[in-house]
């Protein structure tokens, strides 16, 4: 498969990997909206009823604001569009096409069920999309029509040249039947699209919601981003004091337009406001003040050297490190 990167430890990385380890890029985790068309029991991503800025200020003004932020920061920007579900916001597909035409790299996270999914796939230039992370949630898994819709869109995106991965979250209740569930997905994608099996890493219940046997089972099946999973498993409660790249290489953009360091820092200091075109990034990675990192975006734990908390790990083994990482070493 194209755009699969094999790391020295045999772990596999995906299409957004070159941007993630590139020191010139900052990833903006943009919460496009917090509303969603699905209601997964494990969700931490929806709740606030705040309208999307795309609806409030409109396409052109929002595009101008993003361009101003790019000029202000003098950085290359990758926009991770997440939610809630971004593809339920009117004009989302069209707006993403404009962002990609204006030099932004996109990294959308989606359930592929929203009305704007087709517009996104039809209008956006695949060359400017690092990775579509298409998460297969319980409703499409249990509803034949939604299942067909999900895979029709995923295959269309793949055929048009997008990097896409099917993300499947191995929640505890899915584990006993995980092999059969994965086989069904494999039958649907027929080897054309990678399948990312991930444990449920967010919230306060990770990792104690899993038994040791369940962790072992996921670890045996997981063959993409396994390193993140293992390190996250061992380090979830050890982030305090670690120098984290959130605030410089990764920044969160709230649905309101406020830039914050990360999800944990929702009550922390503001890094700027999108509508004003201002984003003041930290000059270097700062220590994490929180004992536990429950930020849902995996990119957020790709800090200067989070892996130092793992006994005997060496800095050179930090493949996800934006400062010492070098893609040429890893291919």
When binding is defined by CB under 6 A, the residue of 6, 24, 39, 159 that contacts ligand SF4 is 39
Backbone angles phi, psi at 190, to 5 degrees: 45, 45
Determine, following the binding rule CB under 6 A, whether residue 293 of this chain makes contact with ligand SF4: yes
- Torsion angle (degrees, nearest 10) of CA 230, 293, 3, 45: 120
Burial of 111 from C-beta contacts in 10 A (0-12 / 13-18 / 19+): buried
Nearer to ligand SF4 (CB atom), residue 65 or residue 323: 323
Burial 224-245 (b: 16+ CB within 10 A, else e): bbbbbbbbbbebbebbeebbbb
Q: How far is the CB of 93 from ligand SF4 (least distance, A)?
A: 18
Per CB under 6 A, which region of 15-23, 179-187, 212-220, 294-302 contacts ligand SF4?
Answer: 294-302
Determine, following the binding rule CB under 6 A, whether residue 36 of this chain makes contact with ligand SF4: yes
Burial 136-156 (b: 16+ CB within 10 A, else e): bbbbbeeeeebbebbbebbbe
Return the structure tokens found at 17: 């990997």
Nearer to ligand SF4 (CB atom), residue 147 or residue 290: 290
Q: How far is the CB of 256 from ligand SF4 (least distance, A)?
A: 18
Q: How far is the CB of 205 from ligand SF4 (least distance, A)?
A: 15
When binding is defined by CB under 6 A, the residue of 227, 246, 254, 305 that contacts ligand SF4 is 246
- The 205-244 site mask, x for binding ligand SF4 (CB under 6 A), equals ----------------------------------x----x
d(CA 211, CA 253): 34
d(CA 159, CA 156): 5
Determine, following the binding rule CB under 6 A, whether residue 301 of this chain makes contact with ligand SF4: yes
d(CA 317, CA 250): 20
When binding is defined by CB under 6 A, the residue of 32, 63, 83, 272 that contacts ligand SF4 is 83
For tokens 């967010």, the residue is: 202
Q: How far is the CB of 251 from ligand SF4 (least distance, A)?
A: 10
Q: What are the residues binding ligand SF4 (CB under 6 A)?
A: 36, 38-40, 43, 45-46, 83-85, 111, 137, 239, 244, 246, 261-262, 264, 288, 290, 293, 295, 300-301, 303
């Amino acid at each position: 498969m194209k755009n699969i990167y094999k790391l020295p430890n045999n772990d596999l990385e995906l299409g957004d990997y070159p941007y993630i380890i590139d020191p010139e890029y900052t990833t903006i985790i943009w919460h496009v909206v917090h509303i969603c068309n699905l209601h997964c029991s494990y969700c931490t991503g929806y709740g606030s009823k705040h309208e999307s800025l795309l609806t409030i200020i409109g396409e052109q003004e929002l595009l101008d604001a993003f361009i101003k932020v790019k000029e202000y920061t003098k950085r290359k920007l990758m926009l991770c569009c997440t939610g809630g579900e971004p593809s339920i916001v009117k004009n989302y597909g069209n707006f993403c096409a404009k962002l990609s035409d204006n030099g932004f790299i996109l990294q959308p996270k989606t359930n592929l069920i929203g009305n704007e999914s087709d517009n996104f796939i039809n209008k956006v230039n695949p060359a400017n999309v690092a990775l579509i992370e298409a998460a297969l949630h319980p409703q499409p898994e249990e509803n034949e029509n939604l299942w067909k819709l999900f895979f029709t869109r995923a295959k269309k995106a793949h055929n048009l040249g997008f990097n896409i991965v099917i993300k499947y979250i191995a929640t505890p209740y899915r584990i006993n039947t995980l092999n059969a569930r994965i086989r069904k997905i494999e039958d649907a994608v027929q080897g054309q699209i990678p399948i990312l099996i991930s444990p449920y890493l967010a919230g306060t219940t990770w990792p104690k919601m899993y038994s040791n046997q369940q962790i072992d089972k996921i670890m045996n099946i997981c063959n993409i981003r396994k390193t993140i999973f293992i390190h996250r498993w061992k380090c979830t409660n050890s982030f305090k004091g670690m120098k984290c790249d959130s605030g410089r290489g990764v920044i969160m953009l709230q649905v309101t337009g406020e830039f914050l360091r990360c999800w944990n820092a929702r009550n922390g200091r503001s890094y700027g406001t999108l509508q004003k075109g201002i984003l003041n990034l930290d000059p270097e990675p700062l220590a994490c003040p929180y004992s536990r990192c429950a930020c849902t975006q995996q990119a957020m734990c790709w800090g200067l050297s989070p892996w130092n908390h793992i006994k005997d790990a060496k800095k050179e083994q930090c493949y996800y490190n934006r400062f010492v990482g070098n893609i040429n070493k890893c291919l």
